[in-house]
């Protein structure tokens, strides 16, 4: 029996002509550029089977690369399903990063080079973020805001992945003026200690490319080992990734690249579609196959998505079609309020005959928190892809818990120390220092009364004391309201947004999420426990992967997957498209908006039979507006022309645009968002000539000189460096080295 008949019998999938052609085209370069659901991944898997079973290629000579760890697992599963009966050989499915890391490790071992990763938990001293924060502060003479940190991190990742040449660094758009300088300093810093190179994730790729280029022995080894190279989801490969693949595949170029340019959703990581569009120039004689027939979804879904993606400019023009049945119309529900959307989704999950065939998609991870809260209350299990529990570690969550802790015991100066600057009692740092050292065990507020720094503080302290006491007996949601209103926490957040470059709306939405989680809980302790529980439930949900449960996922992480029913939630202007997407678009820069369009398209095309788009008109007392993309879908369904993108003026108007340069020194001094290590040096007097210190980034050293506001430290590995003393103290940069 021939291979294709056998596969049909075994898997029920009968490949079409183009797919068969792609499978048979084993020798030489091939680009398979095709729409969602057209069978790219299926073809790639079949091709691996074909290589092994028909061409008798040993599995060890095949390398299959895909985008994320999650897709590696999905690929392995699909391959198992198809071929477990026919072969026991294991094919190497790998992410480009894990492959690159393997090459780099081998090279370092061979040349006896020591290295250290600067990724992982930020609590590690030598962490990418700490290093960049330090370099930023040195270059800009001011600590970065969170937004600036995000900006500079994406800039660095982008220029590394795109391999932007040094002289063009300044041309890459970035709102941080000295981005190029910071990048150069960061690169230099990582190589400074030649006996211990520092590596981040992007370095793995650039080092790997470098090793493959210059080390002939390693290059030849891998070129000979991997006779056949296949890459799925290649539309999200960056320049450096394409280049690695190019070297590996040489000289025979038995390369199969599978991609869909309409599904590029990682531009900010340097994804490069141009490399796909120029495939035949890079690989002369390459075959390019396209497939437009969708086997996944109903006609309704395919036709609508096909119209919608026309919003994406600069694309290979494809017309996706299907021979599947018409199916039900796409459902669009505009709920009056956010909580009604939440209840609706949970109802639908409960009603679902087969929840394993259902996925809930959202753009941002934060959308999952309240959903998880509700699912747990109703005892509905779920599986969550790419769990992200950053929310529970956010400083706002810590603040709220600390206020609550204080209400149990207002004698704790160490807790007050963490929140005093975030409430309206005019407490000064010096006063806190006194409290910490006075050895007394009475109410902090009473003790402060004996040491007022201004007469008006007396009443403020009395009020604060009373409010905090009252809070303890309140149900937790009311306690949070009290923190926000009476203790002035909302004002603090507004202030911080204004001066430190946070997005005010994001900050307020975190407190209001906490407030909702608190609803119905009896007391403050129950609230603290509830947060722990939700975090735990999210983390342990991965054990439900193969159970009969609903899946929750970001749109990004749903790439390549398919489900009978897809519910896309929180489809409001400001989320998808985001405010930033909208602002850039209005300003004439369409890139980000196009990426949001593609992301929405990826979401829609996950559905086999049933697609629902959910939105609402109000959240936390604020009016919201359904996503402009929903308008598009409606128009398509009514047979109307799309016309201009209908963006909400309101959302744009709400935005207070703050130039980042007005961050004042004073405001920055209040910034204290990271956990302070126990032995952090926080007092100027603890720094004397000769004091041994541990620096967050430069490790061990001793104080060489103190001059005015500046301190010079001689580091064991990095030589002498100068810092602003205040900056070191406020950022807890130094710990005692004794």
**Which residues contact ligand ATP (rule: CB under 6 A)?**
13-16, 19, 34, 36-42, 260, 263, 295-296, 560, 562, 605
d(CA 364, CA 244): 31
Tokens of 371: 């959903």
* Residue 691 interacts with Mg ion (CB under 5 A): yes or no: no
- At its nearest, how many Å lie between ligand ATP and the CB of residue 27? 23
- At its nearest, how many Å lie between ligand ATP and the CB of residue 55? 21
- At its nearest, how many Å lie between ligand ATP and the CB of residue 66? 10
Interacting partner of 42 out of ligand ATP, Mg ion, none (Cβ under 5 to 8 A depending on kind):
ligand ATP
Binding part of the chain for Mg ion, among 37-45, 502-510, 531-539, 715-723 by CB under 5 A, reads 37-45
- Edge-first strand listing for the sheet containing 228-231: 92-95, 62-66, 228-231, 255-259, 30-34, 287-291
DSSP code for 572: B
- At its nearest, how many Å lie between ligand ATP and the CB of residue 313? 20
Per-residue string for binding with Mg ion, 41-60, x by CB under 5 A? x-------------------
- At its nearest, how many Å lie between ligand ATP and the CB of residue 34? 6
Interacting partner of 541 out of Mg ion, ligand ATP, none (Cβ under 5 to 8 A depending on kind):
none
d(CA 368, CA 358): 15
Interacting partner of 260 out of ligand ATP, Mg ion, none (Cβ under 5 to 8 A depending on kind):
ligand ATP
Question: CB within 8 A of 532, min separation 6: which ones?
Answer: none
Task: Return the number of the residue (355 or 560) whose C-beta is nearest Mg ion.
Answer: 560
Task: Return the number of the residue (36 or 701) whose C-beta is nearest ligand ATP.
Answer: 36
Task: Return the number of the residue (40 or 127) whose C-beta is nearest ligand ATP.
Answer: 40
3-state secondary structure of 336: coil
Crossing angle of the two packed helices 239-249 and 146-162, in degrees rounded to 10: 30
Query: Which residue in the shown chain puts its C-beta closest to Mg ion?
Result: 41
Q: Which 194-213 positions form the footprint of Mg ion (CB under 5 A)?
A: none
Task: Return the number of the residue (14 or 350) whose C-beta is nearest ligand ATP.
Answer: 14
* Residue 560 interacts with Mg ion (CB under 5 A): yes or no: yes
Degrees (nearest 5) of the Cα angle 443, 448, 449? 100
Cβ-count burial 392-429 (b if 16+ within 10 Å, e if not): bebbbbebbbbbbbbbeebbbbebbbbbbbbbebbbee
- At its nearest, how many Å lie between ligand ATP and the CB of residue 18? 9
- At its nearest, how many Å lie between ligand ATP and the CB of residue 62? 18
Stated as kind and residue range, the H or E segment containing 44 is: helix 40-53
Task: Return the number of the residue (34 or 511) whose C-beta is nearest ligand ATP.
Answer: 34
Query: Which residue in the shown chain puts its C-beta closest to ligand ATP?
Result: 39
Largest CA distance in the chain: 95
Crossing angle of the two packed helices 504-518 and 368-377, in degrees rounded to 10: 0
Interacting partner of 589 out of Mg ion, ligand ATP, none (Cβ under 5 to 8 A depending on kind):
none
Burial of 8 (0-12, 13-18, 19+ CB in 10 A): middle
Number of residues that bind Mg ion (CB under 5 A): 3
Degrees (nearest 5) of the Cα angle 290, 296, 302? 75
Interacting partner of 14 out of Mg ion, ligand ATP, none (Cβ under 5 to 8 A depending on kind):
ligand ATP
Interacting partner of 36 out of Mg ion, ligand ATP, none (Cβ under 5 to 8 A depending on kind):
ligand ATP
Per-residue string for binding with Mg ion, 645-664, x by CB under 5 A? --------------------
3-state secondary structure of 61: helix
Q: Where are the alpha helices (DSSP H) in 587-664?
A: 591-604, 628-637, 649-654
DSSP code for 657: -
Asked if 29 contacts 283 with a C-beta cutoff of 8 angstroms, the reply is yes
- At its nearest, how many Å lie between Mg ion and the CB of residue 63? 18
- At its nearest, how many Å lie between Mg ion and the CB of residue 234? 11
Interacting partner of 528 out of ligand ATP, Mg ion, none (Cβ under 5 to 8 A depending on kind):
none
- At its nearest, how many Å lie between Mg ion and the CB of residue 551? 17
Among 332, 331, 362, 303, smallest CA distance to 35 is for 303
Q: For strand 699-707 and strand 710-715, is the pairing parallel, antiparallel, or unpaired?
A: antiparallel
Task: Return the number of the residue (34 or 51) whose C-beta is nearest ligand ATP.
Answer: 34
Task: Return the number of the residue (301 or 651) whose C-beta is nearest Mg ion.
Answer: 301
Asked if 149 contacts 182 with a C-beta cutoff of 8 angstroms, the reply is no
Binding site for Mg ion (CB under 5 A): 40-41, 560
């Amino acid at each position: 029996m021939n291979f294709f008949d056998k596969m049909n019998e075994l898997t029920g999938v009968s490949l079409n002509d183009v797919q068969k052609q792609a499978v048979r085209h084993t020798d030489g370069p091939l680009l398979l550029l095709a729409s969602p659901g057209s069978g790219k991944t299926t073809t790639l898997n079949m091709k691996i089977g074909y290589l092994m079973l028909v061409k008798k290629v040993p599995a060890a000579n095949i390398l299959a690369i895909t985008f994320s760890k999650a897709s590696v697992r999905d690929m392995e599963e699909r391959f198992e399903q198809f071929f477990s009966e026919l072969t026991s050989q294991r094919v190497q499915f790998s992410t480009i990063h894990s492959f690159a890391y393997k090459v780099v490790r081998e090279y370092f071992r061979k040349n006896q080079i020591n290295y250290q990763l600067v990724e992982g938990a930020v609590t590690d001293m030598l962490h990418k973020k700490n290093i960049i924060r330090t370099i930023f502060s040195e270059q800009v003479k001011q600590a970065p805001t969170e937004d600036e940190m995000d900006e500079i991190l994406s800039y660095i990742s982008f220029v590394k992945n795109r391999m932007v040449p040094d002289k063009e660094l300044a041309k890459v758009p970035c709102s941080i003026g000295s981005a190029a300088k910071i990048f150069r300093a960061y690169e230099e810093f990582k190589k400074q200690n030649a006996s211990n190179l520092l590596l981040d994730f992007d370095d793995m790729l650039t080092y790997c490319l470098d090793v493959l280029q210059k080390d002939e022995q390693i290059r030849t080894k891998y070129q000979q080992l991997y006779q056949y190279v296949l890459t799925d989801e290649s539309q999200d490969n960056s320049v450096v990734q394409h280049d690695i693949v190019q070297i590996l595949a040489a000289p025979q170029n038995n390369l199969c690249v599978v991609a869909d340019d309409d599904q590029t959703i990682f531009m900010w990581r340097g994804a490069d579609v141009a490399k796909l569009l120029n495939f035949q120039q890079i690989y002369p004689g390459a075959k390019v196959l396209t497939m437009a027939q969708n086997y996944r979804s109903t006609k309704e879904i395919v036709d609508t998505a096909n119209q919608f993606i026309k919003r994406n400019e600069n694309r290979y023009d494809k017309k996706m079609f299907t021979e599947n049945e018409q199916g039900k119309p796409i459902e669009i529900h505009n709920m009056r309020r956010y909580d009604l959307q939440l209840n609706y989704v949970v109802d639908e999950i409960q009603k679902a005959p087969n929840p394993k065939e259902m996925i809930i998609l959202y753009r941002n991870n934060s959308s999952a928190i309240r959903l998880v809260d509700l699912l747990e209350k109703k005892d509905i299990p779920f599986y969550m892809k790419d769990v992200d529990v950053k929310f529970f570690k956010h400083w706002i969550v810590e603040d709220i818990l600390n206020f609550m802790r204080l209400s149990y015991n207002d004698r704790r100066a160490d807790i007050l120390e963490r929140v005093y600057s975030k409430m309206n009692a005019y407490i000064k740092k010096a006063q806190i220092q006194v409290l910490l050292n006075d050895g007394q065990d009475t109410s902090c507020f009473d003790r402060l009364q004996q040491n007022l720094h201004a007469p008006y503080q007396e009443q403020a302290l009395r009020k604060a004391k009373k409010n905090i006491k009252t809070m303890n007996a309140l149900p937790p949601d009311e306690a949070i309201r009290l923190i926000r209103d009476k203790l002035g926490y909302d004002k603090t957040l507004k202030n911080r947004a204004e001066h430190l470059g946070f997005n005010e709306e994001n900050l307020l939405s975190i407190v209001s999420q906490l407030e909702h989680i608190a609803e119905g809980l009896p007391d403050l302790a129950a609230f603290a426990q509830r947060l722990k529980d939700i975090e735990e439930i999210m983390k342990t949900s991965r054990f439900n992967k193969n159970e009969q449960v609903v899946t929750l996922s970001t749109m990004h992480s749903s790439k390549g997957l398919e489900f009978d029913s897809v519910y896309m939630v929180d489809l409001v202007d400001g989320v998808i498209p985001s405010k930033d997407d909208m602002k850039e678009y209005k300003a004439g820069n369409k890139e980000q908006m196009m990426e949001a369009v593609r992301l929405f398209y990826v979401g829609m095309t996950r559905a086999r039979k049933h697609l629902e788009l959910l939105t609402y008109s109000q959240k936390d007392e604020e009016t919201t507006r359904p996503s402009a993309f929903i308008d598009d879908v409606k128009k398509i369904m009514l047979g109307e022309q799309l016309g201009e993108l209908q963006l909400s003026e309101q959302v744009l108007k709400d935005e207070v645009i703050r130039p980042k340069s007005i961050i004042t020194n004073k405001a920055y001094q209040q910034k204290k968002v990271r956990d302070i290590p126990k032995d952090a040096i926080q007092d100027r007097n603890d720094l004397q000539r000769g004091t041994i210190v541990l620096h967050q980034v430069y490790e061990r050293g001793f104080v060489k000189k103190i001059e005015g506001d500046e301190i010079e430290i001689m580091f064991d590995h990095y030589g002498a460096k100068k810092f602003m003393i205040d900056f070191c103290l406020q950022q807890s940069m130094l710990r005692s080295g004794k």
